[in-house]
Amino acid sequence: MVFIANLMRLLGVRTWNSLNSWSLVVLVNLLVNPAVVFSLGAQLSYLLTLMILIAPKLSDIKLGVYLNLLSLPLILWQTYKWNLLTMALTILIIPIFEWLILPSVVLGTMCHWLRPLCNQVLTACSLGFVLLKRLPMEVVFGKPPLIIVCFWLGLTLLLLVKPKKRLVICLLLTYGLTFMMIHLPLTSEVVYFDVGQGDATLIRDKFNRTVTLIDTGGKVAFTKEKWQVRQSKTAGQTVIANYLLSKGVGQIDQLVLTHQDSDHVGNFPSLSQVITIKQIFIPAGMEKLPSFQGRVRQARLSQTKIWPVTVGNSATLRQVKLLHPFTAGKGTNECSLVLWYNLKRTSYLFMGDLDRANELVLLAKYPNLTATVLKVGHHGSKTSSDPRFIGKIKPQLVIISAGRHNRYGHPHPVTLATLAAANIPYRLTAQRGMIKIETDFFGTKLVDFAQQTGTSSFLD
């Protein structure tokens, strides 16, 4: 921008100002790379620069406050959370940099006999920032509607030009009302996440009274050399955690891990780094497995209780009913936790990776068992979904969680033929993406996110 302004002066353009330079830079960047508009860094850079250009002369404290107010809507829109210390640090960082960091760097470079002292000052500043980062001051706000974000930005800019008390009150009220709207939803939902070749399902009651996550998805781990291991985010962080944070959920009340397979529990450690987990439920016997114990060591679990459960020992499990297993096992497919959930007229059955033989055992134990929505076992494998089981349950909709072009051929043609013979429709996450079923005062709605369409109640 400075270069453009100087160039215009050399060319004799006297009416050129900083705002013209800012506009030209934005337009050129958008022409070169239109996708830059979706980058949080670019959004903040352009918006805050604009604020500094149009703002009247402000003190450091007022400037810090306005910088925070203007950046907050974009931060909430992109990250869904905000650290309460941000505003204080923004105000303090300028004097800290001017009076401590910059002098220490300059003096330490020029005067070798002052280097130990300057190094101690810089180290103290660095440690101070690290300690502040560890303080539990982060607030999960959720994702505000886009129209509200635009309203906040416009109101903040108006407040900058015309500071009035009623504008401040209006701004604070809309933040408070939006926070309540996100954290106290009037709908309950069951969400089948698209985590590739794996399973992960969320049950969230209205008002966020209870949040239950059934499995976390994950990839099958193969032995690799150290140089082959890449540090990347898992679907537990990019899909599940991001969705929860966008809904204002920072804590999972119940994490149910149906069995030991990596495609069901592999993302559990990485998810725990982002979302607090209050309780974990596993099939009895799985707690003894070295693979599960290793994942527990990798996870961030603060005061988290782990409950090995069977049908006769599941009193601590809320919101859902445990139907299987009946005895302790080793966390295999045959020991999968099977859960039943009911909301108004809609019931849900979650099968884990239960095999055909145990499906029939389940029918013998619960002869009147039915479900409106059935998530079939083992990703639609032919080892699950016995025709007799499907015929007895009589679901109105089947959900199959499987990855696109997966190596296992899921869902198997035999399973699809069973569903076709029973005239039961199904939804496949590989085709539909994340699938959500919402229930509110008006009924139940099915939403396919890949097509961004909502259908009327499938119960009608």
Instruction: Show Cβ contacts of residue 184 under 8 Å, excluding neighbours closer than 6 positions.
Output: 207, 208
**Domain coverage including residue 133:** 2-182
At what angle are helices 60-79 and 146-161 packed, to 10 degrees? 170
Which pLDDT belongs to residue 50? 78
164, HSE (Cβ side, Cα atoms, 13 Å): 8
The Cα–Cα gap between 276 and 182 comes to 18
The Cα–Cα gap between 307 and 347 comes to 25
Q: How confident is the model at residue 227 (pLDDT cuts 50, 70, 90)?
A: very low
Question: What tokens appear for 284 in the block?
Answer: 């009895």
3 state DSSP class of 37: helix
List 439's β-bridge partners, or say none. 188, 444
Q: Closest Cα to residue 287, out of 239, 329, 242?
A: 329
Is 305 inside any structural domain? yes
Is 225 inside any structural domain? no
Q: Tell me the average pLDDT across 446-454.
A: 70
193 with 177, same domain? no
Strand order in the sheet with 201-204: 305-309, 279-283, 254-256, 211-214, 201-204, 188-192, 435-440, 443-448, 453-455
Say yes or no to pLDDT of 328 above 70. Answer: yes
Is 155 inside any structural domain? yes
At what angle are helices 102-110 and 115-134 packed, to 10 degrees? 150
Is 460 inside any structural domain? no
172 with 63, same domain? yes
Say yes or no to pLDDT of 431 above 70. Answer: yes
Instruction: Give the model confidence (pLDDT) of 63-116 as tens digits.
Output: 778 888 888 999 999 999 988 877 777 777 767 877 888 888 888 888 888 888
13 with 120, same domain? yes
Is 351 inside any structural domain? yes
Q: How confident is the model at residue 234 (pLDDT cuts 50, 70, 90)?
A: confident
The Cα–Cα gap between 42 and 37 comes to 7
155 with 263, same domain? no
Domain harbouring 281, CATH code: 3.60.15.10
- For 11-15, 56-60, 344-348, 368-372, which range has the lowest pLDDT when averaged over its residues? 11-15
148 with 239, same domain? no
388 with 281, same domain? yes
Instruction: Give the model confidence (pLDDT) of 127-139 as tens digits.
Output: 887 787 777 778 9
Is 126 inside any structural domain? yes
Q: How many domains does the chain have?
A: 2
213 with 169, same domain? no
> Between these two residues, 428 and 314, which has the higher pLDDT value?
428
Instruction: Give the model confidence (pLDDT) of 162-182 as tens digits.
Output: 888 999 999 999 999 999 999
The Cα–Cα gap between 365 and 311 comes to 11
25 with 67, same domain? yes
102 with 203, same domain? no
Is 375 inside any structural domain? yes
Say yes or no to pLDDT of 440 above 60. Answer: yes
The Cα–Cα gap between 330 and 287 comes to 9
261 with 164, same domain? no
SS (H, E, C) 278-301: CEEEEECCHHHCHHHHHHHHHCCC
Given 182, 197, 212, the domain boundary residue is 182
List 398's β-bridge partners, or say none. 374, 426
Question: What tokens appear for 428 in the block?
Answer: 């496949």
Neighbours of 452 (CB within 10 A): 8
The Cα–Cα gap between 352 and 43 comes to 43
377 with 247, same domain? yes
Which pLDDT belongs to residue 177? 97
149 with 235, same domain? no
**Is there a contact between 187 and 440 (Cβ–Cβ < 8 Å)?**
yes
Is 450 inside any structural domain? yes
